[in-house]
Structure 1
Amino acid sequence: MRPRPWTQAELSRLMDVRPCGQGRYLAPAHGSSERNVVEAGQLLADAVVAAAKEVPTQRVVSASMIFSRVVAHDAPLLVQLEVLRTGRTFSTVQAHIHQRGVLCCAGVVLLDAGAPDLISATAPMPAVDPPDRLRSLAIPGAVVAGRDMRVVDDAGNLDADTVGPPEINVWTRFQDAPDADYLHAALLTHSVAHWTVDAALRPHAGFGVGMAHSRISTGITMVTVTFHEEADVTDWLLYATRATYAGRGHAQSEGQVFTIDGRMVASYGVHAMVREFRAPDAAGRIAGDTLL
């Protein structure tokens, strides 16, 4: 069977989870895929959408999730929510994601009723080339029809011998406007975990993201995203990712999302695994990317 193509509409279909019982939401399967592993950003986006539907009177302002087991594209997902507290100002929702009856991810979502500014300030946007001076990313497996990504300084190339600072700046824009604010947030969330491993490997000659899943074992283990302002994903958004630590098989990054006019609309922190593949266990399994 030929893999289903990756498009903006397909990403929205996967992340627009549907209610299937009290506190339960179903995310459909994508189906056949060249690499049968669901990205961390997609899973976190599932939780963002589910929480937004569970508490529709408030806005998701932050979501955090730990990814302890690989999730496959070829089976649906169950997002199980527990509203830990609903208040006039904030609500807290716990999210568990299961596949084939097994818990794969666990997280928490914070929602807010909103308030006017008392004070207002943000970090400045990095001084980088605007998207109209950059070429679109065309790496096989990273192209989504309806999504345009442009990497500053060509920092996303797969050459293991090209080195640079531990940071990557990427402009991203979607073609079509989603019909709900929570889908704008979901599509924004999808990209926050893309660049941590790339940024962590970039200063080290002989290591590059093109080696991931083949010569080195990598995976996203935890993501937190905070939504500061409303964002329109059909406008250019800059994801500014900086690796702040690499060692002991781990990498950590922090990042911000900016509009083209310099407003910071979101920020994020990502923890990743970056290590050698382990030797097979007694059953012949190699843990590595499977996060066993």
Structure 2
Amino acid sequence: MQTSKELVDLLDLTALGENNFSGNSYTIGSPHVFGGQVLAQAVNAAYRTIPENRFINSLHSYFLEAGDLTVPINYHVAEMRNGGSFSTRRVTASQNGKTIFIMAASFHIKEDGFEHQTAIDKSIKQPEELMSWEDMLVQFGDFLPKSTKAFLSIKRPIEFKPVRVPNPMEPKDLPANEDVWFRLKGDHKDLDIRTKQEILTYISDYNVLNAAFNSNASAHNFGNTQTASLDHSMWFFREFDFNDWMLFSAESPNAFGARGLAKGNIFTRDGKLVASFAQEGLMRPKK
């Protein structure tokens, strides 16, 4: 999977009737289904039951079981409420009769109101100054740990450029934050806002737990720690296009008891706040 079209096709579920849908999976380098894929497919399922004049404003979800890459995922949508301004849906994802994921999502008509937003960090390095994951693989591939090299070798429809690149050969503790520029590959001029929100949901599960790792990066990493997304929430604010780089900016206020919390914002390059997110993940040191 290397282009935005392939990603859109992955997220576009097959209708089975009576608010039931089915989707397949694509690996991002993990032995299990990528959480962002399940999130985005669940949003696709919910949108299929929503009037055209309503758009997602928030989602709250829990990952209950690891997904099997070889088995289709079934999604059932329960229509919880259709009010004058908001609609609410509950989505349940299952494999082989077992529930692996649940999500509640809210959809809102467009309304006018007062406005403010947090500001983007204008001092942050721009993407033209940074290396992408593909650049790192080419330049440092022979020196990277095997697991890191394998992860970077996976073909993806998104290009990522982290603002800070730690040296895997000399790990050290870092501030508890993570800033990553990202850009969608391929032709994406004709995407509607619903599809763009599904793609943004997919991307939001990348990089997020890095912020929770960084304060203990001298001793702990994805290789010696058992990790999994436990829950994921998003809030959607403003419309946007994928015609330029966007910034994923996360910070971690806490890691304790084998769990790490990260939260943050997604901006357009010109500083428009598009969405916010929060996730708690399992971070259990391997013995």
- After TM superposition, the score normalised by the length of structure 1 is 0.85
Distance apart, 1:189 and its partner CA:
1.1
**1:160/1:188 CA distance change after superposition, 3 Å:** farther
2:41 corresponds, among 39, 46, 70, to: 46
Alpha-carbon distance in 1 for matches of 2:228, 2:222: 13
**Counterpart in the other structure of 2:177:** 167
Is 1:135 the counterpart of 2:131 in the alignment?
yes
Q: Is structure 2 residue 59 aligned with structure 1 residue 63? A: yes
Q: Give the SS at the match of 2:17.
A: coil
Tell me, yes or no, if structure 1 residue 237 matches structure 2 residue 246.
Answer: yes
What letter corresponds to residue 264 of structure 2 in structure 1? G
Q: Equivalent of 2:6, from 3, 10, 14?
A: 10
1:230-269 correspondence to structure 2 within 5 Å: 230-269=239-278
State the Cα RMSD in Å: 2.0
Q: Which residue of 2 aligns with 1:123?
A: 118
How far off is 1:34 after superposition? 5.2
| Superposition deviation, residue 76 in structure 1 | 0.9
Q: Give the C-alpha shift of residue 33 in structure 1.
A: 7.5
Q: Give the C-alpha shift of residue 89 in structure 1.
A: 0.1
Q: 1: distance between equivalents of 2:217 and 2:103?
A: 35
- For residues 18 and 56 of structure 1, what CA distance do their matches in structure 2 show? 19
Report sequence identity in percent.
22
Deviation for aligned residue 1:181: 2.1
Q: Is the 8 A contact 1:8 1:145 kept in 2?
A: no
Letter in 2 for 1:194: Y
In the alignment, which residue of structure 1 is the partner of 2:89?
Answer: 93
* Contact persistence 2:7–2:157 (CA under 8 A): no
Is 1:150 aligned with 2:146? no
**Matching residue within 82, 85, 88 for 2:78:** 82
Contact map agreement 2:29 2:150 (CA 8 A) in 1? no
Instruction: Return the match for 1:192 from 182, 190, 204.
Output: 204
Q: Is the 8 A contact 1:231 1:265 kept in 2?
A: yes
Separation in 1 of the partners of 2:36 and 2:203? 6
Match in the other structure for 2:218:
206
Task: Report SS of the residue matched to 1:20.
Answer: strand
**CA gap 1:34/1:153 in 2 versus in 1, 3 angstroms:** closer
Contact 2:238 2:273 in 1 (8 A): yes
In the alignment, is the contact (CA less than 8 A) between 2:25 and 2:33 conserved in 1? Answer: no
Q: 1:189 to 1:159 in 2, by over 3 A?
A: farther
Q: What runs of 5+ residues in structure 1 fail to find an aligned partner?
A: 279-292
- 8 Å CA contact retained: 1:66, 1:222: yes
Q: What is the rounded CA distance, in whole Å, between the counterparts of 1:94 and 1:197 in structure 2? A: 25
- Helix, strand or coil at the partner of 1:169: strand
The answer as to whether partners of 1:159 and 1:210 remain within 8 angstroms in 2 is: no
Distance (Å, rounded) in 1 between the aligned partners of 2:222 and 2:200 = 24
Distance 1:98 1:135, change over 3 A: same
Q: Distance in 2 between matches of 1:209 and 1:144?
A: 23
CA contact (8 A) 2:28 2:156 kept: no
- Secondary structure in 1 aligned to 2:201? helix
Match of 2:30 among 31, 35, 38: 35
Match of 2:21 among 2, 21, 25: 25
Is the Cα contact below 8 Å between 2:71 and 2:95 reproduced in 1? yes
Q: Secondary structure at the match of 1:203?
A: helix
Task: Letter of the 1:168 partner, please give it.
Answer: E
Letter paired with 1:42: Q
Give secondary structure in 1 for the equivalent of 2:47: helix
Cα distance in 2 between the residues matched to 1:210 and 1:160: 15
List runs of 5+ in structure 2 lacking aligned partners.
135-148
